Amino acid sequence: MPPLLDVRNLMTYFFTDAGLVKAVRGIEFTIEEGETLALVGESGCGKSMTALSLLRLVPPPGRIVEGEILFRGEDLRRLPPTEMRRVRGNRISMIFQEPMTALNPVLRIGEQIAEVLRLHRAFSQRQAMDTAAELLGQVGISDPGRRLREYPHQLSGGMRQRVVIAMALACDPQLLIADEPTTALDVTIQAQILELLRQLKEQRNMATLLITHDLGVVAETADKVAIMNAGLIMEYTDVKTLFSQPAHPYTAGLLACIPRLGSKRDRLAVIEDSTGQGRPEKGESFLDRCAEPFAPYKGKLPPLREVSAGHFVRCWSL
């Protein structure tokens, strides 16, 4: 049986006045039913653009120039716009990074959740509002009947994030894309949101693409991990292998940046700017400073090689 999502050689470029920006440079990964894949990397490495590419929501002047996005064997790139709109929010949903920008400030919470249900499920207004109240209860919001009548600014950051999750889950999607779902939340609320997502995933057997830069979150929630830098996947494996046997120097660098209790250092480890962000045409990445077998060779990038079962590393040979 094919995987739920199979991404092959996905490339998304931006054609700017300053030159060509290669935001996503030929990435590949799969997600099985009920599985969580974490896409990890620094800000500007192409994580969010990968998510937008999957939903064909790349803003101009960007566009997908190559690749396949196979969802249950069907290439989403080939779907007409009307069919793609039926996929978004229905079979694949997304939690955007900042809930205040994902919610309409002039519409009540109930109206916004109900709109999703009316659009994709053809519910009546009464059915949609009743289901919206149930969804708010499922994501841990007390007194949902009252919250339906409130506006986004009347809710705390954690409650707004729960509302966005309720909207994303309204149509029982098979794949949830969560783009930094705990950004700007305090540590306690972050833990609650991550636990909520874990519970909902188990209850619904829902696959998740978790986009984050927090390796602590990855260790707690993910099954597989793809480490991303400058639009490229550097290492791709299961969580246990990544933390116990990191094979790429970029992965090792990220792990070295994590502060550890009981470990005294004069200063935290850092990785010098390596995302390639804002560098049209050149496409520099961490690889440009790597030694063999990870460095580019005669202008060619090293391929993503399987160095052991299920463990892929961008290198010439290991």
Position 213 scores a pLDDT of 87
Flag whether pLDDT at 275 surpasses 60.
no
Q: Mean pLDDT check: name the lowest of 25-34, 228-237, 266-275.
A: 266-275
How many Å separate Cα 311 from the centre of its chain? Answer: 20
Helices (H), 170-247: 187-204, 215-221, 239-244
Where do the DSSP E strands lie in the chain? 5-16, 19-31, 36-40, 62-71, 74-75, 92-95, 175-179, 207-212, 224-229, 232-238, 304-308, 311-314
Mean pLDDT of 257-286: 62
Both structure tokens of 298: 């005669």
Report CA-CA distances (Å) from 172 to 27, 84, 175: 27, 17, 9
Flag whether pLDDT at 278 surpasses 80.
no
Residues of 300-313 as b/e, b for ≥16 C-beta within 10 angstroms? ebbebeebeeebbb
Mean pLDDT of 109-131: 92
Flag whether pLDDT at 299 surpasses 90.
no
Mean pLDDT of 293-317: 89
Both structure tokens of 182: 């705990």
Q: How does the average pLDDT of the chain come out, rounded?
A: 89
Both structure tokens of 208: 């998740």
Q: Mean pLDDT check: name the lowest of 12-21, 173-182, 198-207, 252-261.
A: 252-261
What tens digit of pLDDT does each residue of 129-182 get?
999 999 999 898 999 999 999 999 999 888 998 999 999 988 889 999 999 888
Mean pLDDT of 221-236: 95
Position 270 scores a pLDDT of 66
Nearest C-alpha neighbor of 277 from the set 236, 314, 229, 234: 229
Q: Mean pLDDT check: name the lowest of 134-143, 180-189, 249-258.
A: 180-189
What tens digit of pLDDT does each residue of 198-227 get?
888 888 899 999 999 889 889 989 999 999
Tell me the DSSP string of 44-88. TSSHHHHHHHHTT-PPTTEEEEEEEEEETTEEGGGS-HHHHHHHB
Euclidean distance between CA atoms 47 and 67, whole angstroms: 16
Mean pLDDT of 55-78: 96
Contacts of residue 48, Cβ cutoff 8 Å, sequence gap at least 6: 97, 179, 180, 211
Position 263 scores a pLDDT of 65
**Other C-beta atoms lying within 10 Å of the C-beta of residue 149:** 11
Cβ distance 136 to 148 under 8 Å? yes
pLDDT band (50, 70, 90) for residue 269: low
Q: Mean pLDDT check: name the lowest of 198-202, 291-295, 303-307.
A: 291-295
